[in-house]
Structures are given as C-alpha cells and as structure tokens.
Amino acid sequence: MRYEGTVYRPPSEAGSLIIQLTIGCARNTCTFCNMYKDKKFRIRPLEEVVEDLAMARKYYSRIKVRRIFLADGDALIVKTEDLLYILEKCHEYFPECERISVYGAPKDILHKTPEELKQLKDAGLDMVYMGLESGADEVLKFVKKGVTSDEMIEAGQKVRAAGMTVSITVISGLGGKQYWREHALGSARVISAIKPEYVGFLTLMIEPGTEMYDQYNRGEIELLTPHEVLDETELFIRSVDAEGTMFRSNHASNYIPLGGTLNREKDVILGQIETSRQRSNVQRHLNKESTDLRLWATEACLQAHIDIGRSR
C-alpha cells in the first residue's frame, strides 16, 4: 500500500485496512481542523487504488481482512459508478471483508440520490462516519463548516434510509462560552432527528496552525472549563431523544469517559456526569488554568513533532 501524508481514521477503524481513495478534504475550511491542511485535494486514479488493494492482499496473504476504511476526508465525493467499482474490487481481493466504511460529508451525501445510496449499500458500503461537530447553525457558521443543521439532518436520514450504519461525531465546547446552550440543544435536535446508530463526543482541542488558534489568541473564542463541558453534555443528554443510539464520550480528548445507550440509559449517563462532578476536587477557580494547560499541552506536542521532524 502507498500512503500520502498523514492518514486519519475513526478510532473504531483501528484494526481496518485503510486505502486512500481520495487525498485530503475537498472543503478544508473548518476553522478548528488541521487534518488535511498539508494536502491538495484530489481523487486518486482508480487503477492506483486497485493496485493498492492488490498490494495489500499480497501483504496480508495469510491474514483475514475483516474491515476496510476508504480514506481520506470524504470518499463519497467520488462518482457513484467509480465507488461501485472500488467496492467490487474490495470484495474481489478481500472476500472475507465484513465491513467497508467511509467518512461522508453532508453535501456529498445530498448530491447522491436515494437509489445511488442504496446501490452503494448493496455493493457493500456498510457504514458512514459524519462529522456533525455541532447541531447549532450559529456554531456551524462560526467554524465555517459550510453546511446547515437541516442539511445535516437530511444527509443523515438519507444514509440511514439506505440501510447503512451512521456514526456521528460532535465536538464538546465547539461553541465556546457564547454558544454552549445552542450547541447542546442544536446537537440534540439533529441527533434526535437522525437517530444514528452511534454518536461520539470529542472535546475541542485548539491546535496551532488552525484559524481557531488565532481566534483564541485574539480573544474571539472563550473556551469552556471542564465543568462547563459537563454542563453542556448534561443539557445534550437531557434534551436528546434517540432511542437505541449508542452514546460514547471516551476519546483521548475527553475529560472523563461517559457512555450508554440512549434513551434507556440516560439516567446512567447523567449519573456518570454527576459522579464526576462530585469526585472532582478541582476548584472552579482552577478551571481556567485547566483550559490553559490544554492549550499548553497541544503546543508542547506540536513543538515535539517539529523537533522530531527536524532531527530526522
């Protein structure tokens, strides 16, 4: 296999074979994201992708590949006929494969007809990861996501109607102190309308090199303290109505791990939040330090990467 640049995948695809169908993100406008800033977006020639599948098969000749993730940022931008061809090749080289998944940008999903999505599902595209980030239009606009909450709902419902599994990511604290209520209530509205199989919460980490990092330094966004993030999550849990959706907030960026199945385990999740509040010995006046510490840690990590890069 050949990989170009840093390759990102959802945490649950840790054991998957990753094949780059596209390079980078076609939009690349989100102010908090620096994942694909170093890449110029393009769709790879299909023959190259098939060559990668052949190479992977040789490499994993004795290992069963159960899952394939088609990277990078938004594989659904690829024409449906080309996607169908690649899905067919995935199954040809890896007949044992049980799940193929992609990141799906809402606008790309909306450009596909329900019939096309059904065709993709029937050809083996089982799961779509969508970055909602926030269900509040104020926040989506502020972070330049380029999509509205209603478009998110339409896209998510379309993928679910095609029979695919949907996993949605929300970023705690993305609206800062100004929009935390809108963020919690708007995200609950979108998740209630889509009722995805999975919803995962990350917590905002402002990374150097992003537009949001500069906004933070200019004082244009005030980060939530850990306690405020809990308040925001609690408001989301109390407001959401998505029976059967698996809620997880256990990414490395989260202050505390939370999880349960909505709606029936809402009380369990609220109990986890309350227990965390009570156990926390962190005084509210230390919270500002905590957010500063988060930024400091990010800066330190980046510096370490730069130093390692220089020493190579």
Q: Is 9 helix (H, G, I), strand (E, B) or coil?
A: coil
Question: Smallest distance, Å, CB 271 to ligand SF4?
Answer: 32
- Considering the rule CB under 6 A, would residue 30 count as an interface residue with ligand SF4? yes
Q: Which of 12, 28, 169, 298: binder of ligand SF4 (CB under 6 A)?
A: 28
- Comparison of 28 and 263: residue with beta carbon closer to ligand SF4: 28
Question: Smallest distance, Å, CB 144 to ligand SF4?
Answer: 8
Which own/partner pairs from 264-272 qualify as long-range (CB within 8 Å, at least 24 positions apart)? Answer: 266/237, 266/238, 269/237, 270/234, 270/237, 270/238
- Considering the rule CB under 6 A, would residue 36 count as an interface residue with ligand SF4? yes
Residues between 101 and 130 with contacts to ligand SF4, criterion CB under 6 A:
105
What's the CA gap between 109 and 83, in Å, rounded? Answer: 13
What's the CA gap between 62 and 70, in Å, rounded? Answer: 22
Q: Which of 13, 19, 22, 27: binder of ligand SF4 (CB under 6 A)?
A: 27
- Comparison of 131 and 135: residue with beta carbon closer to ligand SF4: 131
Nearest C-alpha neighbor of 257 from the set 268, 245, 242, 243: 268
What's the CA gap between 180 and 245, in Å, rounded? Answer: 22
- Considering the rule CB under 6 A, would residue 73 count as an interface residue with ligand SF4? yes
Q: How many residues bind ligand SF4 (CB under 6 A)?
A: 11
Q: Is 132 helix (H, G, I), strand (E, B) or coil?
A: strand
- Considering the rule CB under 6 A, would residue 67 count as an interface residue with ligand SF4? no
- Comparison of 29 and 250: residue with beta carbon closer to ligand SF4: 29
Any idea what DSSP says for residue 66?
Answer: -
Chain contacts with ligand SF4 (rule: CB under 6 A): 25, 27-30, 33, 35-36, 73, 105, 131
